[in-house]
Chains A and B, each alone.
Chain A
Amino acid sequence: MADTGVQRTRRVFRRPPGSRRVPLSPPQVLAILALLAFAAILAFMTVGARGSWDFILPFRGTKIWAMVVVGYAIALSTVLFQTITANRILTPSIMGFDALYALIQTIIVFMFGGFAFATLDPQLRFVIEVAAMVFFSTLLFRWLFSGAPRSLHLLVLVGIVFGVFFRSLSGLMQRLINPNDFAILQDALFASFNTVDPTLLLVATLAVAGVSIAALRMLPTLDVLTLGREQAINLGVDHKRTVTAILMMVSILVSVSTALVGPVTFFGLLVANLAYLLIRSHKHALIVPAAALISVICLVGGQVVLERVFGYNSALSIIIEFVGGLVFLVILLRGNVR
């Protein structure tokens, strides 16, 4: 059996009893992460700051705010998604969810024209997009995950190809609309922290807060879902309803992060797996904050280092793709995937 192979390697690599390092307890890890996140934010606000604080504070403050909201949304959505699918390699982005969001935006422009899209109140537009997103992603997920269980490899591959499919379809539609509409759409699709719309940020924050309250109320149930569908049902969780609810929450979070910064395929995978690694517990009350803090540290800290120190402007996403891709490959090859 595959299990015994894993076990054997573990035994070989285990340290002799005397030299065994005591791992940090989860609260200690959280404290250190919080400190690092705070330091990153402080550095972002101050490094290279020239001129009046009246200008810098709101300017950089908005960016930080957006980064924290996005970082948290990605971390929470990934952990929630991995919990309902009971594995650690699938993420909403890998399943093509953020490509789906971009497609929905494209379809709206395609059907109603760029003018309607641009003149629509951005908050209302966001709400419409999120509603469509929740609807379609739930549909897609239900279709993929219902019926006879499919192998995880199949799901990952299908997700990746769905991502390509959604992206190509938006690409095709973008070619079909007129160039003015296309320019408007480009603005919406190529969002970045530098061009965050403050009103959108407010709605996004409210949406994320709402989802968080809902998640907080189902914390113990989330822990049970980690055991997989059958065990969760055995322990009395209404599996179908709970999973659907969580999936809707995930869709909202993905919409938020994609609307604010665009798609980032591997970032969620990276922060969630780092959180599992550092927090040696299955409790969501510990994992989610850890993932969120790691996410903020990577986003803000990475931005400080790349933008302020090296002067690279938008290279962070490329580097995240590189590291994330490597991590994905390692997880895949280590065979921890069912």
Chain B
Amino acid sequence: MTKLAAAILAVLALAGISLFIGVSDVSLPALLSTAPGDRPMQVLLISRIPRTLALILAGMAMAITGTIMQMLARNQFVEPSTAGTVESASMGILVVTIFAPGMPLIGKMLVASAFALAGTAIFMRILRQIPLRSVLMVPLVGIMLGGIIASVTSFFAYRYDLLQTLGAWTLGDFSGVLRGRYELLWLAAGLTGIAFFVADRFTVAGMGEDFTTNLGLNYRRVMALGLSIVAMVTAVVVVTVGAIPFLGLIVPNLVSMAMGDNVRRSLPWIAVTGAAFVLTCDIVGRLVRFPYEIPIGTVFGVVGSGIFLYLLLGRRTRLG
């Protein structure tokens, strides 16, 4: 427990750093020497605090979402960007943008969730059709499915001249986060909280329908709940800040390497590590070419795929 407390402190420290990095001078002396209505305080309240909160919320939510998917599919390499979920959510947003551009953010999010849910359900269906599934076949199928969905999306984006807009959802970027534009992420946090309490059921559901029924649980209901949480969290994150590829994959895997697979014990760690990862990458992206910013999607693309490769190649024996 003390270790976890230390980790939470580390995340808070990172959050503190995140608050004070940027072009505008927002330092303690600046804050204290100016009136609350002046620029430093305004920047802090409107931009820095929302951004930092968004980073923590998105990081925790995506890491937990990845874990849920891994439990449901019983595969360590599944997460929203290797299961077609992210791509389906983007397609949903595109549909809204084409047919109802004026729809409020929450509406966009709900449509995106519906698409994400449908896409993930298709993925789970395909998985059931595979007779002998190898550990690696599952993410492969998911990535391919995602690619197919993405190509349909980009075709229509191309037709309606929306390719540039599409880019904003596929590449995570927190630089546009302001007060009033990130609050949906609290919803993601709430959903993640629910996932926390029913995590055991997801583990059971991952064992299959017969196994679940035998234990007296309603398989379909648990599955539907899990997939809905996954779809909604993904949709919220994609709508507000864009996709962060492989986050939900590498964090649970690294945590499980460090402390085993007891979900109850590792879930808090996964949440904290996810937040720390996202915070760090965003801070790096803000610092490395100061005063310009590099979107977190770009930074995390390198870090995420690099760690994913390490997971794949580093432990050859476990994959068989």
List A residues at the B interface (Cβ < 8 Å): 2, 5, 148, 150-151, 153-154, 156-158, 160-162, 164-165, 167-169, 171-172, 175-176, 265, 312, 314-315, 318-319, 321-322, 325-326, 328-329, 332-333, 335
Contact status B132-A172, CB under 8 Å: no
**Separation of A90 and B301 alpha carbons in the complex (Å):** 23
CA distance A157 to B77 in the complex (A): 10
Give bound CA distance, A168 to B144, whole Å.
19
How many residues of chain B are within 8 Å of chain A by beta carbon? 43
Name the distance in Å between B48's Cβ and chain A's nearest Cβ: 22
Determine whether B164 belongs to the interface, using a CB cutoff of 8 Å to chain A: no
Please, which residue of chain A has its CB at the minimum distance from the CB of B300? A168
Please measure, in the bound complex, the distance between the C-alpha atom of A172 and the C-alpha atom of B297, giving whole angstroms: 10
Contact of B316 among A148, A156, A165, A172 (CB under 8 A): A148
Partner of B148, one of A148, A312, A329, A333: A329
- Which B residues, 129 to 166, have Cβ-Cβ distances below 8 Å to chain A? 129-132, 134-137, 139-141, 143-145, 147-148, 151-152, 154-155, 158-159
A158-B306 Cα distance, complex, nearest whole Å = 10
Please tell me if the beta carbons of A151 and B319 are within 8 angstroms of each other in the complex: yes
Closest to A163 in B: B305
Closest 3 CB pairs of A and B: A168-B301, A153-B136, A165-B305
With contact pairs A148-B316, A154-B319, A157-B312 given, residues A169 and B302 touching in the complex (Cβ less than 8 Å): yes
A175 touches B309 (CB 8 A): no
CB-defined contacts of B129 to chain A, threshold 8 Å:
333
Q: Is A329 a contact partner of B319 (Cβ separation < 8 A)?
A: no
Minimum CB–CB distance for A10 against chain B, Å: 16
B144 & A329 in contact (Cβ 8 Å cutoff) = yes
Question: B221 on the interface (CB 8 Å rule)?
Answer: no
B interface residue numbers (CB < 8 A to A): 77, 126, 129-132, 134-137, 139-141, 143-145, 147-148, 151-152, 154-155, 158-159, 245, 288-289, 292, 294, 298-299, 301-302, 304-306, 308-309, 312-313, 316, 319-320
Report yes or no: B316 in contact with A160, Cβ–Cβ below 8 A: no
With A161-B308, A165-B309, A333-B130 known as contacts, the answer to whether A153 contacts B141 (CB < 8 A) is: no
B residues near A158, Cβ cutoff 8 Å: 309, 312-313
Are A326 and B148 neighbours in the complex by a CB distance under 8 Å? yes
- Report whether B152 and A322 are in contact in the complex, using a CB–CB cutoff of 8 Å: yes
**Which listed residue, B132, B143, B312, touches A154 by the CB 8 Å rule?**
B312
Contacts of B144 in A (CB 8 A): 325, 328-329, 332
**22 A-B residue pairs with CB within 8 Å:** A148-B316, A151-B134, A151-B320, A153-B140, A156-B136, A156-B140, A157-B140, A157-B143, A158-B309, A158-B312, A168-B301, A171-B298, A312-B158, A314-B158, A318-B158, A319-B155, A325-B144, A325-B147, A329-B145, A332-B137, A332-B144, A333-B129
Beta-carbon contact of B155 and A315 below 8 Å:
yes
Closest A residue to B153 by beta carbon equals A318
Question: How long is the Cα–Cα vector from A321 to B302 in the complex, in angstroms?
Answer: 23
Known: A2-B132, A322-B151. A165 touches B302 (CB 8 A): yes
Of B151, B159, B288, B313, the residue contacting A325 (CB under 8 A) is: B151
